[in-house]
Structure 1
Amino acid sequence: MPRLPQRIVCLTTETVEVLYALGEQDRIVGISGYTVRPPQARKEKPKVFAFTTGDIEKILAVEPDLVLTFSDLQADIARDLIKAGIAVYALNMRSVDDILAMIETVGRLVGAEDRAQALVAGLEAQIAQARALAEKHIAQHGRRPRVYFEEWDDPLISGLRWASELIEIAGGEDVFAERARSPLSRDRRPTPEEVIAAAPEIIIGSWCGKHFRPERVAARPGWEAIPAVNQARMHEIKSAIILTPGPVAISEGLPLLLDILWPSTT
């Protein structure tokens, strides 16, 4: 179908992941330098932009007929591309449902709607299976473990909405679930005292772009009183998995959460 986009630039990793999963990777003519999934994309596709910075001429040089962007963080480049006459589709995933909807949208954009729906159905089945397993654990233990998800350490930033929702699906209780509903990081900045008062039994760190350091968390003044700290239940999930609003957050992030929340039963 010639009216469908033939030359797509993906400025975030999740749309690259989806197009490869749909077998439509030949349409990709440029990617972000931060693309990590699938690994072969970094070898096969030219890197034409970073995430929020780069040279628009590098994008224009690959002659895209569609550029896929993400959120307000890429609003400026989307504006510049539109001014240059390029079609732009700006995605804005914030929740698990948004991730599934993004897959269906990308599928429709490239004429692969049936394959996209099949991919979504598989992820939905995984979610349902994880939720059922979690409910069994909750019934056995009589409660949900309290979880603090830390996206950044200085300043403290708690988890995004889809991470919070995946914690709930896996059977946990996000201690800052209400804050997770805000798309703005400034609204997800608990004080150290608030984390101590929340008394999480599990701490999950996913510091975007650097390794989580449990020993640094344990050394924070007063944090030795937190059950997760004094019981050494501090775990890392790599940001490329859980902070990416694409299939990987569900396909790999959710099983990791189950293992962390229910270590002796999964």
Structure 2
Amino acid sequence: MLLLLLVSFAGCGSQQNTSQGSGTASQEHFAVIHDAMGRDVVLAKKPERIVVTSASFLEPLHEVGGDVVGRPDSKTKMPDYAKDKMSVGKVYQIDVEKVLACEPDLVIVNKGMNEKLVNTLEENGIKTVVLDMKSYDDVKDEIRAMAKITGEEQKGEDLIASMNQKIADIKAKIPADKHRVSIIHSTNQGLTIQLDGSIAGCTAKMLGWDNVASGMTPLEKNPDAAPYSMETLVEQNPEVIFVTSMGKIEEAKAGMDKTMQENPAWQTVEAVKNGRVYYLPQDLFLLSPGIHYPEAVETMAKCLYPEALTK
């Protein structure tokens, strides 16, 4: 019996040591990031040389104590701290050789544009984290991931709390009315309808407004948009129309005015009859607003309630 008891205690001691060993090993990692590709990316130590493939990552990363050695070109999203950093090409044409020349220990990749870089970078021994940033929830996830990367998780939570409060303050200033809205995206190739997953769709939803296109079948290559149909728009009869377009708002308005004049069916839509067609800036509604999501919410809300939100 004594011998059996000794063996039993020895076994428990062995299992406990194994468990403690596993705990110690896990604590050796600096951070584990669950990214937008569903991967758990293990960072053995704090990254010291970071490259980002989207300029929209620069501000949130900086807000949680991060810096970069390389970034893409951008005419609208370049904070002062990053202007002199090495360029790795245009966001749609990232130059892998330039990325490698930065000698990064981490590359933050933009989902939907640059995932093709992941395999090449990983084969060269460079860690990658893929982040999405369309919806407000995406942006909050992005901030939390970046705060883990920099080891400043409290800064991330403080930033999110500040953004939440700003949005709550904006909503408190306007009536809690429901509005039936349609969001049209205008390009040289024609028109599409923006769904809830788009930035403008997400913003309208945050304001409590109903996107008349919710539930429509998305385009095969764009899950955030649906095909435009004049017949469907007339049937949906939105009371408000928002228009997004790359380029200058004046040019988009001129193009849409021509389209509306050429087809009398537009004049039967409530939003058009009542002059409630509004044009949204590309830097907040086509490029990710990032930490400026409260500004996007305010911009959309101000279209309908300018007096309530005029400082």
TM range (shorter): 0.7 to 0.9
In 2: Cα distance, 1:165 partner to 1:182 partner: 18
Q: Answer yes or no: is 1:164 the counterpart of 2:198.
A: no
Deviations 1:45-89 (A, max 9, x none): 222121232321111111111111111321212222222221110
Q: How many angstroms does 1:233 deviate by?
A: 2.4
Q: Which has the higher strand share?
A: 2
Counting matched residue pairs gives 258
**8 A contact 2:185–2:191 mirrored in 1:** yes
Counterpart pick for 1:200 among 228, 232, 238: 238
The residue correspondences of 1:224-235 to structure 2 (distance < 5 A) are: 224-235=267-278
Structure 1 residue 216 corresponds to structure 2 residue 255? yes
> 1:251-266 maps to which residues of 2 (within 5 A)?
251-266=294-309
Separation of aligned partners in 2, 1:183 and 1:133: 39
Q: Deviations over 1:112-145 (max 9, x none)?
A: 11111100011111232333334xx13xxxx422
- Residue pair 1:10, 1:68 contacting (<8 A) in 2 also: yes
Q: Which residue of 1 aligns with 2:180?
A: 146
What's the counterpart of residue 122 of structure 1? 162
State the alpha-carbon separation in 2 of the partners of residues 185 and 200 from structure 1: 23
- Deviation sequence 1:17-50 (CA, Å, 0-9, x none): 10222242xx201111136334325622222121
- Partners in 2 of 1:191 and 1:249 — Cα distance? 32
Letter in 2 for 1:14: S
5+ residue gaps, structure 1, are: none
Equivalent residue letter for 2:183: F
Task: Output the TM-score relative to the length of structure 1.
Answer: 0.84
Give the counterpart letter for 2:173 in structure 1.
L
* Aligned position for 1:44: 84
Query: RMSD value over aligned CA atoms?
Result: 2.7
Aligned residue among 200, 204, 211 for 1:174: 211
The answer as to whether partners of 1:30 and 1:62 remain within 8 angstroms in 2 is yes
C-alpha deviation, 1:150, in angstroms: 2.2
Is residue 131–residue 171 contact of structure 1 (8 Å, CA) maintained in 2? Answer: no
The 5 Å alignment of 1:45-194 reads: 45-134=85-174, 137-138=175-176, 143-153=177-187, 154-159=189-194, 161=197, 162-179=199-216, 184-185=221-222, 187-194=225-232
Distance change (3 Å), C-alpha of 1:128 and 1:183: farther
Q: Greater Rg, structure 1 or structure 2?
A: 2
Percent identity reads 23
Q: 2 CA distance for matches of 1:226 and 1:166?
A: 23
**CA distance in structure 1 between the partners assigned to 2:235 and 2:148 by the alignment:** 47
CA contact (8 A) 1:52 1:77 kept: no
Q: Decide which moves more: 56-65 or 125-134.
A: 125-134
Q: Is the 8 A contact 1:175 1:200 kept in 2?
A: yes
TM-score (norm 2): 0.73
Contact 2:47–2:150 under 8 Å retained in 1: yes
Q: Which has the larger displacement, 209-218 or 233-242?
A: 209-218
Secondary structure in 2 matching 1:88: strand
Structure 1 stretch displaced more, 154-163 or 64-73: 154-163
> Are the aligned partners of 2:289 and 2:296 in contact in 1 as well (CA < 8 Å)?
no
Structure 2 residues without counterparts, runs of 5 or longer: 1-29, 31-43
Residue identity opposite 1:234 in structure 2? V
- 2:204 is paired with a residue of what secondary structure? helix
Is the Cα contact below 8 Å between 1:18 and 1:246 reproduced in 2? no
CA distance in 1, matches of 2:82, 2:185: 25
